[in-house]
Amino acid sequence: MRTHESAGPSRDSASSSPARSSRPRTLDGLQSTLGNAVTTRLITVSRMMTPEAFRESTSTRMPRGRSRITEVDAALAAFQRIPEDDPRARSFALRAVIDACRTYTSRKPADGSRVAGTEELARQAAQARTELDLESVYRGLLEEIDLLLAQNLHTMEQTDQAHMTAQSIPADRFHTMMSGYVEQLGGLRSDDTLPEETRAVIGELMAVVPLVKVLQYPWTGRPGMKLDAAAEGQDQSYSFNVGTQAPGGTPFLLGHIAHELTHVAAHQAFGSSPAMELVESGATVKQVAALAEERRKTLEGLQSALHENAGFTAPQYQLLDEKLSYGAQPGKLESYAIGLAGAGRITEEQKKRLMSWGEAAGAASGTLVEYDTVLNQMLVYLHMWGISEKNPFYVRLLAASGAARTRRDNARGNRSGSGDGETDRGEGGEGSASGTA
């Protein structure tokens, strides 16, 4: 099981695109940090049939014009017209070739006279797509989303294209690319305008990055952080299913990364179970109930400050409101406990304890899993949006984050002082974690 941030309503429509008066302060450094998407590796697509060769390999006595093979012909011809220095256009043209081939063959018997040649073209197109510099394509799309949002324009097409591009990036290259975005999150600390609280939070998150061994596309589930199985005597490690749909552009992606790394930092601090509950090991039901109530009131205060605040655009308001609600969903810890127990990740005793904690929290059960994560996520949003620290919501958020970070620091110190340097194996040496954006 893996916990995750709910996708929530789309923020890609014209009515929900941020109308900002200026670009986010971090946009100026995007090209220098991640590379100019226009300056890419120019890789000649090899082993691709020409339109003439494809027609020859699929030639039959049936007049070609009466067959839907002409749809494949058209897609291949369109691809051949795109210059080699446009990897983004070539990437999506190759996808169109693959889709046309699959559509054609799905309607024909396996021994159809044109099936073999069409399947070979699809294979060649798929291989050629991986040879393109898809990382630059993805980065370029994310930068374009940033710029479109700054102009209050639609981003749905670019968001979909970014998601589809990420799916085609080989696993090792995907890991490297997303590691670059993790580094960019850490690089925010060099910004003199970054609040000290946010700087401290990001420092805490960067400290646990070495524990995250894999950053991968979420083929096996929704985006989130997973606690890996660990053999006796081995250190804990985590795998990160990175969400690649970023309708809010770079701030959205970096916020998602901060959210997930907070799960790791908190899990290490509290010594919690694979559910990654934000509760110090050994807490009583009464203490948990009081903690959940305290966090619920803090989130309510943030909600009030947000509702009374005119300092955000409509989409920014929507995203913050969504995260505040996500931080305190009823039944959330209980659902994790049931899923983890069903997967054999936690014992029945652990399940019983987590269920009792969730029930004690009542409607604020989500605060026991997602409270710290959404606070840190919103800190990244506000900084990258260029919101003034004097904004009433920002003031409350920084204070809430400071209290939550102090609690994590104290828990970490308590565990270190007691000699409990790692999560009790009885709490689950393997399992899934809580997660996000």
What would the DSSP string read from start to end of 161-176? HHHHHHHHS-HHHHHH
Q: Using pLDDT thresholds of 50, 70 and 90, give the confidence band for residue 436.
A: very low
Contacts for 188-197: CB closer than 8 Å, 24+ residues apart: 188/26, 188/254, 188/380, 188/383, 188/384, 191/25, 191/26, 191/383, 193/25, 193/383, 194/383, 195/379, 195/383, 195/389, 195/398, 197/379, 197/398, 197/401, 197/402, 197/405
Q: What is the pLDDT of residue 232?
A: 60
Q: Using pLDDT thresholds of 50, 70 and 90, give the confidence band for residue 78.
A: very high
Please tell me which residue, 325 or 31, carries the higher pLDDT value.
325
Q: What is the mean pLDDT of residues 255-284?
A: 95
Q: What is the pLDDT of residue 414?
A: 86
Please tell me which residue, 112 or 428, carries the higher pLDDT value.
112
| DSSP H or E run through 241 | strand 238-241
Rg (CA), the chain: 25
Q: What is the pLDDT of residue 98?
A: 96
Q: What is the pLDDT of residue 18?
A: 36
Q: Are 277 and 288 in contact (CB under 8 A)?
A: no
Of 380, 55, 59, 64, nearest in space to 206 by CA: 380
Residues 432 and 277: their CA atoms lie apart, in Å, by 12
Q: Using pLDDT thresholds of 50, 70 and 90, give the confidence band for residue 422.
A: very low
Of 380, 295, 383, 379, nearest in space to 333 by CA: 295
Q: What is the pLDDT of residue 144?
A: 94
Greatest Cα pair distance, the chain, in angstroms, is 82
Q: Using pLDDT thresholds of 50, 70 and 90, give the confidence band for residue 14.
A: very low
392 has a pLDDT exceeding 90: yes
Q: Which residues pair with 241 in a beta bridge?
A: 216, 224
Q: What is the pLDDT of residue 167?
A: 92
Q: What is the pTM of this model?
A: 0.81
| 323 CB-side CA count, 13 A | 27
> What tokens does 153 get?
């324009």
Q: What is the pLDDT of residue 16?
A: 34
Q: What is the mean pLDDT of residues 354-382?
A: 97
267 has a pLDDT exceeding 90: yes
Q: What is the mean pLDDT of residues 101-107?
A: 96
Residues 76 and 281: their CA atoms lie apart, in Å, by 60
Q: What is the pLDDT of residue 10?
A: 32
Q: What is the pLDDT of residue 310?
A: 81
**Mind listing the pLDDT tens digit for each residue in 217-239?**
999 778 999 899 876 667 889 99
Residue type, 233: G
| 131 CB-side CA count, 13 A | 16
Residue percentage of the chain with pLDDT more than 70: 84
Q: Using pLDDT thresholds of 50, 70 and 90, give the confidence band for residue 421.
A: very low
Q: What is the pLDDT of residue 47?
A: 73
Residue ranges of alpha helices (H) inside 19-68 are 30-34, 51-57
Q: What is the pLDDT of residue 418?
A: 59
**b (16+ CB within 10 A) / e for 46-73:** eebbeeeebbeebeeeeeeeebebeebb
Q: What is the pLDDT of residue 233?
A: 63
395 has a pLDDT exceeding 70: yes
pLDDT-wise least confident of 207-211, 274-278, 429-433 = 429-433
Q: What is the pLDDT of residue 80?
A: 94
426 has a pLDDT exceeding 80: no
Q: What is the pLDDT of residue 222?
A: 87
Q: What is the mean pLDDT of residues 185-203?
A: 98
Q: Using pLDDT thresholds of 50, 70 and 90, give the confidence band for residue 36.
A: very low
Residue 352 sits at the vertex; the CA angle it makes with 346 and 354, to the nearest 5 degrees, is 75
Q: Are 121 and 72 in contact (CB under 8 A)?
A: yes
pLDDT-wise least confident of 178-187, 276-285, 398-407 = 276-285
Mean of all residue pLDDT scores within the chain: 85
Give the contacts of 364 (CB within 8 A, at least 6 positions apart).
Answer: 292, 293, 295, 296, 328, 330
In 10 A of CB 194, how many CB atoms?
16
Give the contacts of 355 (CB within 8 A, at least 6 positions apart).
Answer: 333, 334, 337, 338
Helices and strands counted in the chain (H then E): 16, 3
Residues 421 and 26: their CA atoms lie apart, in Å, by 37
59 has a pLDDT exceeding 90: yes
Q: What is the pLDDT of residue 68?
A: 93
Contacts for 178-186: CB closer than 8 Å, 24+ residues apart: 178/215, 178/240, 178/242, 178/257, 179/215, 180/33, 180/34, 181/34, 181/253, 181/254, 181/257, 182/209, 182/215, 182/257, 182/261, 184/33, 184/34, 184/250, 184/254, 185/254, 185/257, 185/258, 185/261, 185/380
**b (16+ CB within 10 A) / e for 143-166:** bbbbebbbebeebbebbebbbbbb
Chain position carrying tokens 């995750």: 4
Please tell me which residue, 72 or 5, carries the higher pLDDT value.
72
Residues 424 and 420: their CA atoms lie apart, in Å, by 8
Residues 136 and 151: their CA atoms lie apart, in Å, by 23
Q: What is the pLDDT of residue 381?
A: 98
With 0-12 / 13-18 / 19 or more C-beta atoms within 10 angstroms meaning exposed / middle / buried, residue 284 is exposed
133 has a pLDDT exceeding 50: yes
**Residue 341 backbone dihedrals phi, psi, to 5 degrees:** -65, -40
Residue ranges of alpha helices (H) inside 169-284 are 171-187, 196-208, 249-270
23 has a pLDDT exceeding 70: no
Q: What is the mean pLDDT of residues 425-430?
A: 25
